[in-house]
Chains A and B, each alone.
Chain A
Amino acid sequence: MWADIRLIAGKDLRIEWRSRITLSQVLPFALLVLVLFGFALDANRPVLDAATSGLFWIAVLFVGLMAVQRSTAIETTDGARRALLLAGVEPAAVFLGKALAVALQLLFVETALVGGVIVFYDASIESFPLLAATCVVATVGIAAAGTLLGALVAGVRARETVLPILLLPVLAPVLIGATRAFDDALGTVAVDGWAWLGLLAGFGAINIVLGALAYGVLLEET
């Protein structure tokens, strides 16, 4: 199982690395979103300070959408889904592998985004462990929910437009939880960020279990 997960994740990451799309398009897009928020809020320091965590995670959600779209597109072109099904790999392993690949790409972009909010929004990190833990746990949830819903819309024509309306409401708890945890990690609001991690972990666990269970059915029937 673990070998299969690594195999699938490795395949997706290798495709990404060769196309350089994350590096040359997604990453600049994420930074662009940060800059645009700066313009939209009139570069008003107190407002930016208060909104930094939220803006960071909105940018991550947008990037997450792009990453999931890419991850889904890999399987829909050239009948790759059929091939994957015939390869005899456990569907759960395919799901976990693809989610892992999406999560790793997102974490890479998030690292750059943290740099971005430090430079553009003058954010300072009060608790690095909390910041890192929030990024990892929230990203696992986003990647799992995204991969599941991505597979769900893989076979339909309007998938680019329907994915956001499905995924973004589902990710509402992640946005709330990760933003609050970040508020604590950046020291902008006095809340208990670690308590929010529990909620994010619960969200991630539910989506991993549901995704692992449903992925086989989706691969075969849609």
Chain B
Amino acid sequence: MVDSEHTGSRTTRILGIAVILGLIALILLGFFGAPEDDEQRDAVRMIFVHVPSAIFTYVAFTVTAIGSVMWLFRRSIWWDTVAAAAAEIGVLFCGLTLFTGSVWGRPTWNTYWDWGDVRLVTTLILFLMMIGYLSVRSLGGGERATATRAAIIGVLAMVLIPIVNRSVEWWESNTLHQKSSLTDGNLEDLTLFTLVVGFVVWGLFFTWSLIHRFRISWLERELRVRDLDQALVERRAEGREHEGQPV
């Protein structure tokens, strides 16, 4: 694996092409196919990005949490690498969720940010925690130490999120956040279809980027190990060269 020049493979190429085609379909459907909403007008089109991003934020962070637990119990570098890759993509999606949410909130709620909204504030705290997770990963130090530090934060974030959610819920017991659009049955057929396309595209993109990110980390690791082995061999060879020579 270490000798390949890129992280692509047949599977990822097919996935990548599917993502591009899906994105084109989503853009066409989102802007021209789906009708505008009676109340939210064109702003409703934001849900095609916002809702899939939010769902896959939670998928990504769940993967990170599982990977963290697997590192702590099994000491599996494979799972640690998966956790790290998922966390990076999760932070990207989480930022996208918060950004699209604010942009959507301005015309709909007449405010970019609402402190009373439980999901909004909880998601922000989660975002900040996971930025902490990534910064701990980038601190350097030994591979095992970094993995253990990161895994504990991953588990801590997973355990504390319900508490954050509960505290915000009690703090301002009102919410602007609409109940799930999917289950209230008010969505037009084409809007619902576009949203489903959004989910599929985001799912494909998540898988594609997770595989690539994982492979990059894995190759980097193999390179580190190989460099170390190489250096050891060279030093030993030097040692042999100087054998018998006066010091």
Contacts and interface: CB of A to CB of B under 8 A. Distances in A.
Interface residues of B, number: 28
Interface residues of A, number: 30
Contact of B136 (A157, A162, A168, A170): A162
B153 interface: yes
B139 A169 contact: no
Contacts of B163: 173, 199, 202-203, 206
Contacts of B135: 162, 165-166
Contacts of A158: 139
B164 A172 contact: yes
Interface stretch (B6-14, B50-58, B165-173): B165-173
14 contacts: A148-B152, A152-B149, A155-B141, A156-B141, A162-B139, A166-B132, A169-B128, A173-B160, A173-B164, A173-B166, A218-B149, A218-B152, A221-B144, A222-B141
B131 interface: yes
Contacts of B129: 166, 169-170
Given A165-B131, A206-B163, 7 more contacts: A148-B152, A153-B139, A173-B160, A173-B167, A199-B166, A206-B159, A222-B148
B72 A217 contact: yes
Nearest to A217: B148
Contacts of B140: 156-157
A58 to B, nearest CB: 16
A156 B139 CA distance: 7
Main secondary structure of the interface of A (DSSP, over half): helix
Nearest to A203: B163
Interface in A164-214: 165-166, 168-170, 172-173, 176-177, 180, 195-196, 199, 202-203, 206, 210, 214
A210 B155 contact: yes
Give the one of B152, B164, B171 with max A CB within 10 A. Answer: B152
Interface in B151-183: 152-153, 155-156, 159-160, 163-164, 166-168, 170-171
B167 A199 contact: yes
Interface in A101-151: 148
A166 B136 contact: yes
A209 to B, nearest CB: 9
A165 B148 CA distance: 18
Contacts of A162: 132, 135-136, 139
B145 interface: yes
